[in-house]
Structure 1
Amino acid sequence: MKIVIVTGSSRGLGASAAIECARNGMGGVVTYNSSPDKADAVVKTIVENGGTGVALKLDVGDVSSFLAFRDTVAARLLSVWGRKDFDYLVNNAGYGLFNPIITVTKEQFDGLFEVHLKGPFFLTQTLLPLMANGGQIVNITSATTRVATAGVAPYAAFKGGLEVLTRYMAKEFGERGIRANSIAPGAIRTELGGGLNDEFEAILAGQTALGRVGEPEEIGGVVASLLSSENRWINAQNIEVAGGYII
């Protein structure tokens, strides 16, 4: 059985990705920061669908916690799946901030940087010794890296950095057969940034060729598909999954 770690998977896109991966026969490590009950609910869904999962606490914004997290992962891999390694890492954890550049504080800037770029960089570095050869890294970025949307400059800038980092991961880890790709969602119905009200949703739907916002499972399904052996020749790519957002 292939094992996937999905960060920030107690809700939203991460939860959907973990559940869809389980439906495709993968074991899942669900991580949460502040909502253990929601993470347990995701694991329950995975088990109800015939899969195997565990929930572990992880603050992606706290690099100092990563070594302890790796030790916990190693112990659970052995006790739950009888393995010393895992196969896939999905760097998904994140949050939104909608402020014009002129109002963004240093604390807000640093917080977004820690979670969206620094965290994925050092978490991947820390977990790499546990990743099996032939594995894959999927970084969740954003369609805001392609189009400029007022109010999300730091978020989009760090997601853009993560896209670049993805290509370097593919380059440097290729000798181990490890692929790295990124997925850039468009407007999705999640709690990110406080969620969507009717007015904002209508605006986003009007900017999307398919005339609506996306659902979390439409991203989760792409994550699971990308991790499958059928897509083993896709590498170093950024795949926008946005229904035709601002084209």
Structure 2
Amino acid sequence: MKRSLAFLTLSVAAFLLLAPVLVALLGATQPSEVIARGSMAWLPGGETARNLGEALTQGAGTAPVWRLLLNSAVMAAGIAAGKIVLSLLSAFALVYFRVRGRGIAFALIFLTLLLPVEVRIVPTYDVVVKMGLSDSMGGLILPLLASATGTLLLRQFMRDLPRELVDAARIDGAGPLAFFWHILLPLSRTSVAALGVVLFVYGWNQYLWPLLIVTRAELDTVIVAVVKMIGTGEAMSDWGAIMAAAILALLPPVIVVLALQRLFVRGLISAEK
């Protein structure tokens, strides 16, 4: 009985989560005027090629979606890579270097979890503009590089490693950088992969910061562009192309999650131990 109830609950939750994706998939196959009238059929139509072509090459009033996907991929990959590098170095320093104020530094890093981008967006915007990084990929990536979450995850992983590894490395004459590069980094592979998946999806789904810092259409991310495709006032929206663009925007993070699924699960399990 309990297993049946759990299965039913999970099935309902999965349906609720997948229903918008199903609507977008069906909408990407049907004419825009049918969707606008609210009479979209619940069977695939024959406009898939036109809608995908319109989204990829024209963008329905924005830059072509292939360009927007590239912008999002560069931004998400840059954020993920930068956060991982900074998190590895900060966690390494917090765990293996015994210096004064280490506990205070960790507490301050932890407190930054209370200050998301939305809370500090005005001063961050002011700094980025004064540095001349608005309307640039650097302006999209650099303000989002610090990661307290990554530091906490990797710090916990490093604390769980046997201290004998450090002693053995010292006996062999390995310095801090050699220990980090040849021993610690290979052992952190699964945790880094799990963190990378989370951070890539985080960077890909950013909306408010790219919307604020970028004014040129060719630098828009695909998440921002999908919203801009929706016409305002009496303007007619190309709903078929919008649905196709939404599906295309969904594919890269799904591919990343599926490709790194095993490492992602192993990294989460090892982080919990």
TM-score normalised by L of structure 2: 0.21
Larger relative contact order (CA 8 Å, sep ≥ 6): 2
Which has the larger strand fraction? 1
Which has the larger helix fraction? 2
Larger Rg: 2
TM-score normalised by L of structure 1: 0.23
